[in-house]
Amino acid sequence: MTRSIILVIDGLGVGEMEDVKLSRIQDVGAHTLKSIRSNYDMEGSLLNHLNLFDANKNSDVIQPGLHIGIGKIGLAHAGADSYLGHQEMIGIITDPKKIFLEDIYAELSKELNKKYKTVWHKNLLLIDDSIVISNNVECDPGLNLNVFGSLESTTYKKILEIGTWLRETVDSSRIIAMGGSPLTLQTIIESIDQRVDPVSGRVYSGVNIPKTRVYNESYLVSHLGFDKKVKNNIIDIFLARDAEVSLIGKTATLFAREKATCLPEVNTASVMELLIQQMELQKTGLIFVNVQELDLAGHSQDVQKCAEVLDWVEHYLPNVLGKLDNDDLLIITADHGNDPLIGHPNHTREYVPLIVLSHREIDKKLGVRSTLSDVGASVNQFHNFEQPQIGKSFL
Residue 365 to residue 348: CA distance in whole angstroms: 25
Same domain, 15 and 32: yes
103 CB neighbour count, 10 Å cutoff: 12
| Statement to judge: residues 220 and 232 lie in one domain | no
Q: Give the pLDDT score at 45.
A: 61
Give a yes or no: residue 395 inside a domain.
no
CB atoms within 10 A of CB 117: 11
- 9 lies in a domain? yes
Domain stop point among 189, 207, 224: 224
Q: What is the pLDDT of residue 1?
A: 77
pLDDT at residue 137, rounded to an integer: 93
Which of 224, 254, 276 terminates a domain? The answer is 224
The pLDDT, as a whole number, for residue 223 is 86
Question: 130 in a domain, yes or no?
Answer: yes
Residue 220 lies in a domain: yes
The answer to whether residues 238 and 385 touch, using CB atoms and an 8 Å cutoff, is yes
Q: Containing domain of residue 198, as a range? A: 101-224
Residues 203/195, Cβ–Cβ less than 8 Å: yes
Hey, what amino acid is at 21? K
In a domain, 394, yes or no: no
Q: Would you call 52 helix, strand, or coil by DSSP?
A: coil
Number of domains in the chain: 2
The CATH number of residue 378's host domain is 3.40.720.10
Question: Would you say 186 and 153 are in contact if contact means Cβ atoms under 8 Å apart?
Answer: no
Q: What pLDDT does 65 receive?
A: 79
pLDDT at 38: 83
Tell me, yes or no, whether 88 and 233 share the same domain: yes
Q: Is residue 233 part of a domain?
A: yes
Omega before 182 within 30 of 0, i.e. cis: yes
Query: Do 203 and 250 belong together in one domain?
Result: no
Same domain, residue pair 235 and 362: yes
Q: Which residue positions in the chain have pLDDT lower than 50?
A: 53-61
Examine the domain organization and report whether 151 and 218 are in the same domain.
yes
Nearest to 94 by CA among 177, 202, 171, 198: 171
Helix (H) or strand (E) holding 85: helix 82-90
Do 376 and 260 fall within a single domain? Answer: yes
With CA atoms as reference, report the closest residue to 349 among 80, 70, 39.
Answer: 80
Q: Is residue 198 part of a domain?
A: yes
Question: Could you say which of 224, 251, 271 is where a domain stops?
Answer: 224
60 shares its domain with 43? yes
Give the pLDDT of residue 364. Answer: 85
pLDDT score recorded for residue 57: 46
The alpha carbons of the chain give a radius of gyration, in whole angstroms, of 20
- Verify that 197 and 310 share a domain, yes or no: no
One domain, residues 291 and 313: yes
182 and 239 assigned to the same domain: no
Residue 209 shares a structural domain with residue 279: no
Residue 391 lies in a domain: no
- Residue 215: predicted pLDDT: 85
